[in-house]
Structure 1
């Protein structure tokens, strides 16, 4: 498997911690509201504020991550790029899309595309229950979902346990660092800017029309 990476450059952990602190402050109200809404609809939502990864820890020495599984490999995103975690999601398929496009998800009235990164990372196809867990990615607002093979976890790791990614000839620049345990940390900013993870409004609405027309529970295969 080739993990996409970008040319070696220093990782600005000070800027990362600043972005994480700003994102947590900005999303506190919306995350608390989403948790209440999810319980009312029978869907589990994990708020990043419910278990602060920095509580009682030196901010200068640790970084918060949300880890997830794909094809028995562990990946992670900085918490500043994660809005929430959802489970038992229901996706509406979008006709004529590439394999990594799993469908559209209705997040409290906001239609968001959902993606499986396995194909884009040259990993084996996902197996098991297709839509059990997903991470809602975004900063100022939710942008899209990425699926996970298992329940994502919130981690807080010492900076000395993280090393910058090695140079790689891959055509995507997602892989920015690796932990000592072998977790691949993906660059959330580059994910949000990648055109592979973007659907036009008419494509999203086509998925919603499909859902209303069939009223079925689709799966991503």
Structure 2
């Protein structure tokens, strides 16, 4: 009895792989450059809201967005308010933080607070939902992170596919637009200036030192 031979493994076309990677990088850089140009224009004459910026553009243009998932709902931020995306974010929980604050994240030596928007947006916390991804939010520099249940996506949508959201109260005032697919676009300008995301740096450092002490110091026996 002879053992049937397996078909030869198909060789990987590394040239095609590199070509696709280069195209993806080029597309991402183009979106980031467009966002930077929008940011410069925003600094010269800041709009009253994110929707004002959308409505003031030509209908032939598009808007760069970073989408993320919370409680099985899709939200988005303008790419101008996103510094980077991190995976497998190791969040260090700290005592004494608000309920929507999960802890801090060490971004290349800078301790940044991490927030879960579910509670602030009145969304149920999915059972067993893992938040391995986080978005680093900021305008001129990284300011804080928000969690996402799945890998965030970068996309460009034509302005004609984005409409103004209905005005809301409280945290629903962050809702500045909605897409044809139901994605809620949050007003990054309001988000970055909301006092709920301002934590005392001394409190973060003191809490971090307290946690380190609890871990490394042995209890003193009498």
TM-score by length of 2: 0.68
1:182 aligns with 2:197: no
Counterpart contact for 1:163–1:177, Cα < 8 Å: yes
Secondary structure at the counterpart of residue 91 of structure 1: coil
Whole-angstrom CA distance in 1 between matches of 2:103 and 2:77: 22
Match of 1:173 in 2: 173
Q: Following TM superposition, by how much is the alpha carbon of 1:61 offset from its aligned partner in structure 2, in angstroms?
A: 1.6
Residue 22 (str. 1) matches residue 31 (str. 2) = no
Normalising by structure 1, we get a TM-score of 0.69
Of 172-181 and 145-154, deviating more is: 172-181
Structure 2: state its 5+ residue gaps: 1-31, 41-57, 217-222
Q: Output the CA distance in 1 between the equivalents of 2:129 and 2:211.
A: 19
How large is the Cα RMSD of the aligned pairs? 2.7
Structure 1 unmatched runs, 5+:
1-16, 26-57, 217-221
Of the two, which has the highest radius of gyration? 2
Q: Which residue of 2 aligns with 1:118?
A: 118
**Displacement after TM superposition at 1:129 (Å):** 5.3
Q: Which has the higher helix share?
A: 2
Give 1:1-221 correspondences, 5 Å limit: 20-22=35-37, 60-128=60-128, 130-170=130-170, 172-213=172-213
- The change in CA–CA distance for 1:163 and 1:199 in structure 2 (over 3 A counts) is same
Q: Which has the higher contact order (CA 8 A, sep 6+)?
A: 1
Alpha-carbon separation, structure 1, partners of 2:146 and 2:157: 22
